[in-house]
Amino acid sequence: MIFFGSSFRLQPMHHDQSRLRSLLHAIIERLCQRHQLTLSLAVCLCLGLPAHANHANSSSTIKLPETPSVIANEAAATASTSPNMLNTQTQITESVSDINRLPPSETPANFGEPSLYALLDAEFAADRDDTARAVTIYKQQSFKQDATAVFERALSLSLRNESVEDSLRFAKAWQDQNPDHVPAWFYVAHLALRAHDYELAGETLNRILSYDPRADLSEILIGIYPNTDEDKRELLAALQPIDSEQNASLSVLKAGLLYQFNEPEIAIVHIDRALARQPDYVPFITLRADILRKTEPSETVINYVSQARLRNPDSKSLYLYEIRYLLDLKQNEQAWQLLLDAHERFVDDEEITLLAALVSLDVEEYASADQLLNMLAKSPAYLDQAYYYLGISAERQQRFEQAKYYLNGVMQEDLVLEARRKVVSFELLNDDVDAAVATLEKLRKDFSVFAPDSFVMQADILWQQNESDEALRLLTRASRKYPNNEMLLFARAQLLDDKNDYIVKRTLLNHLQALDPTNLSYQLSYAQLLLANERSSEQALAMATAIIQIRYDDPRYDNELHLQALNVLAADALATENYQQVIDYLQTPYDVFPTLRSGTLLLRAYQGLGNNEKVEALLTDLQQRFSFGQRNVNDRIQLY
C-alpha cells in the first residue's frame, strides 16, 4: 500500500464503514493481481488522516512537502485493465452518488468525509484516460473533511491535465478553506510563480517567511525563473517588500534579478546575506563573482574567486569559473597554468583533461597538448575528440601526414565531417585530386547522412579544376537522389550562369526561397541574378540593402554575407559608373578584411575616377596579397 507523506497514518474506522470495508476486501481479492495500485491509492486517500502541518510542527525549518508530481508519477504506474476488471469498474462506478458528478464549484464544502466509492471511480476513470472525470471527482472529494491526501492527489492530476492557472485556482480555493495547512502555502506560492501571478506569490511567500523566516524555499523556486524582462520586473517588485534578510533562497533570487537589471550595488547586499548563511555554497560564490565583475576591476574578481577556490579545493566548478574568466580576459597563459593544476587535482576528470589540452593548443604548447590528448585517447568516450584535436595539433605543426592519420581516425558523427574536410584540403595541397575524391567517396559510404556535403565538396574540386560542366552534372545526379536537399540545390544554382541559365537558376532560387524564406544567402543570390539581367533592379537592390543594414549584434548577422552584399551593390554602382558609391561601399571593409573581389571593384572605381595614385597603391597591394601579376589582375577585373 502506498502512503502519501511521512505524517500519513491509519485512523480508527467508523461503524458505517464496515460494509464498505467488506466490499473493498472482496474487490481486492478479485483485482489485486492486475490493479493493486489503483485500489491502494483510493484506500489510502479515503482512510488516511490528513497530514496537517500547523503551529505544532516540531521542525524549526519548514520543508516543502512531497510534491504532487511525485504522487502523480506513482499513480501513473497503474497496470493495464483487463475485460473482467472493466466489468467490476462499471459496477463500482454505477454506485457512485450523483453528487460526485457535480463541478467542484457546486460541491458542498465539508460534506462528510471522502467517499471510497468516489475515489475508486476517479482512479478507474484516470486509468481509462478519462482524466476530466478523474480530476473533477478528486477536486470534489478534496473539499470534504480530513482530505489532505485527496487534495494532493487532486492537485497532481490537475497539474498533469490542466493549465497552471487552473491548478492555481484549485490550490488557492483549497488553501482558503484550510488556512492552517502550511504545505498548501508552498503549493500556492510555487504555482503563483509559475502562473506569473506575482502579487499572490509575494503575499504567500511573505506569509511563509512570517511563519518561519528561514523556511526552505528551494522547492518553491525550482523552475519558476521568468523569461521576459517584464515578468522579471514584476517578480522583483513583488519580492522587494518581503524581508529576506534571514532567508538565503529569497536573498539570492533578489540578487540575481537585480544583477540582470544592472543594479550590482544593491544585488551585492542580497548575495552577501545569502553567503552569510551558506559561505561555501558554490552557486552563491559564482553569482557574487558575476556581480563583482560589473563593479570591480578584474584583479579583485580573480582574487575573490581564487580565495574561494582555496577554501573549497575539491570544487571543480570554482576551478572552471576562474579558468573561463581568465580566458575571457585573454590571459591564456594564466588559464593554462591553472588548468594544469586542475588536471593534477582531478586527474581522472576527462572534461578537465580535454579543456587543458585545448588551451594548450591555443597557447601553442603543443607538447603539452599532445601529451594530454594521448591520455584522453585511452578513454573510449573521448577517443574521437582526442584524435580530432591531435589532428589539429599536427596540422598547426605542419605535420600533414600525421594530421591526416588522426583525422581519418575520427568516427564521431558531429566531428567526422569537419575532420574529412581537412583531410581533403591536405590532399589538394599535395595536388592529389584522386585521393581527395576517394576520401569524399568513402565519407558518403560510411556516413550516408553526409552524402550531400560530400557531393558539394567534390563539385567544388571539379570547379577548381575548371571542370564546371562535370561539377554541374555531378550535382544534378545528386539532386535526383536527394531531391529535397537545399544544400545540393543551392550549390547547383551557384554553378549556373546568371545569363545563359537565367530561367533554370531563377526557378531553383525561387524554390529555395519558398523552402526557407528567411535564408539570406538565397536572397542575395537571387538579387545578384536579377542585377545580372536587369541593371539597378529595385527588387534586387532592396534585398541586398536589407542585408547590409543588419546590425552586427543581430543573430542574423554574418560578416561574410555582409561583405558579399556590399560587393553586389558595388558591382551595380560600378556598372552605372557611380564610382564614388563603389568606394563608399568597399573602402572601409577592404581595409579591415581585404578580399580579391572587393579589391578589384575598388581598383576599377579608382580607375574610373582617374586617381592614378590610388590605382598604383591598390594594384601593388593586390599583387602582394594575392600573388597576382598585372595581367592576372587585369584578367580578374574583367570578370566583374
Mean pLDDT of the chain: 81
Q: Where are the alpha helices (DSSP H) in 262-297?
A: 264-277, 282-292
Give the DSSP letter of residue 448. G
User: Between these two residues, 183 and 570, which has the higher pLDDT value?
Assistant: 570
Sign (positive/negative) of CA torsion 510, 515, 520, 522? negative
Q: 3-state secondary structure string, 42-109?
A: HHHHHHECCCCCCCCCCCCCCCCCCCHHHHHHHHCCCCCCCHHHHHHHHHHHHCCCHHHHCCHHHCCC
pLDDT at 111: 60
Closest to 50 in 3D by CA, of 111, 9, 104? 9
> What average pLDDT score do residues 494-519 get?
95
What torsion, rounded to 10 degrees, do the Cα atoms 551, 555, 556, 561 define?
A: 70
Interatomic CA distance for residues 387 and 379, integer angstroms? 11
Of 70-79, 447-456, 630-639, the range with the lowest mean pLDDT is 70-79
Interatomic CA distance for residues 230 and 216, integer angstroms? 27
Contacts of 129 (CB under 8 A, 6+ apart): none
Are the beta carbons of 177 and 143 closer than 8 angstroms? yes
Closest to 319 in 3D by CA, of 290, 346, 359? 346
pLDDT of 189 strictly over 90: no
Residue 273: CB atoms within 10 A of its CB come to: 20
pLDDT of 585 strictly over 60: yes
Q: Phi/psi at 10 (nearest 5 deg)?
A: -75, 145
Contacts of 569 (CB under 8 A, 6+ apart): 541, 544, 545, 548, 585
Domain definitions of the chain by residue range: 1-162, 496-568, 577-640
DSSP, residue by residue, 155-223: HHHHHHHS-HHHHHHHHHHHHHHSTT-HHHHHHHHHHHHHTT-HHHHHHHHHHHHHH-TT---HHHHTT
Q: Where are the alpha helices (DSSP H) in 410-497?
A: 413-429, 433-446, 451-464, 468-481, 486-495
**Alpha carbon distance, N-terminus to C-terminus of the chain:** 82
pLDDT at 8: 26
Highest mean pLDDT among 78-87, 117-126, 536-545: 536-545
User: Between these two residues, 31 and 319, which has the higher pLDDT value?
Assistant: 319
pLDDT of 89 strictly over 70: no
Interatomic CA distance for residues 152 and 52, integer angstroms? 12
pLDDT at 627: 67
> What average pLDDT score do residues 212-219 get?
80
User: Between these two residues, 238 and 363, which has the higher pLDDT value?
Assistant: 363
Amino acid identity of residue 427, one-letter, is: E
Are the beta carbons of 391 and 419 closer than 8 angstroms? yes
pTM: 0.68
pLDDT at 244: 80
pLDDT at 628: 52
Interatomic CA distance for residues 96 and 24, integer angstroms? 14
Which whole-number Å values give the CA distances from 275 to 271, 283, 286, 428, in the listed order? 6, 10, 11, 59
pLDDT of 93 strictly over 90: no
pLDDT tens for each residue of 288-338? 999 999 999 999 999 999 999 999 999 999 999 999 999 999 999 999 999
Amino acid identity of residue 18, one-letter, is: S
Interatomic CA distance for residues 553 and 626, integer angstroms? 31
pLDDT of 23 strictly over 70: no
Contacts of 257 (CB under 8 A, 6+ apart): 232, 235, 236, 239
pLDDT of 96 strictly over 70: no
Query: What helix, strand, coil percent values describe the chain, rounded to 5?
Result: 70, 0, 25
Are the beta carbons of 301 and 308 closer than 8 angstroms? no
Residue 480: CB atoms within 10 A of its CB come to: 9
pLDDT at 29: 44
Let me know if 296 is exposed, middle or buried by CB neighbors in 10 A (0-12, 13-18, 19+).
middle
User: Between these two residues, 64 and 305, which has the higher pLDDT value?
Assistant: 305
Q: What nine digits make up the cell of 274?
A: 545569502
Interatomic CA distance for residues 243 and 46, integer angstroms? 40
CA atoms within 13 A of residue 367's CA, in its CB half-sphere: 0
Report residue 629's pLDDT band, with 50, 70 and 90 as the boundaries.
low
Interatomic CA distance for residues 87 and 68, integer angstroms? 30
> What average pLDDT score do residues 183-188 get?
88
pLDDT tens for each residue of 269-280? 999 998 998 899
Q: What percent of the chain has pLDDT over 90?
A: 55
pLDDT at 28: 38
Interatomic CA distance for residues 551 and 591, integer angstroms? 19
Interatomic CA distance for residues 565 and 541, integer angstroms? 10
Interatomic CA distance for residues 224 and 309, integer angstroms? 30
CA atoms within 13 A of residue 583's CA, in its CB half-sphere: 15
pLDDT tens for each residue of 331-380? 999 999 999 999 999 999 999 999 999 999 999 999 999 999 999 999 99
Interatomic CA distance for residues 612 and 606, integer angstroms? 7
pLDDT at 58: 32
Report residue 631's pLDDT band, with 50, 70 and 90 as the boundaries.
very low
> What average pLDDT score do residues 202-216 get?
84
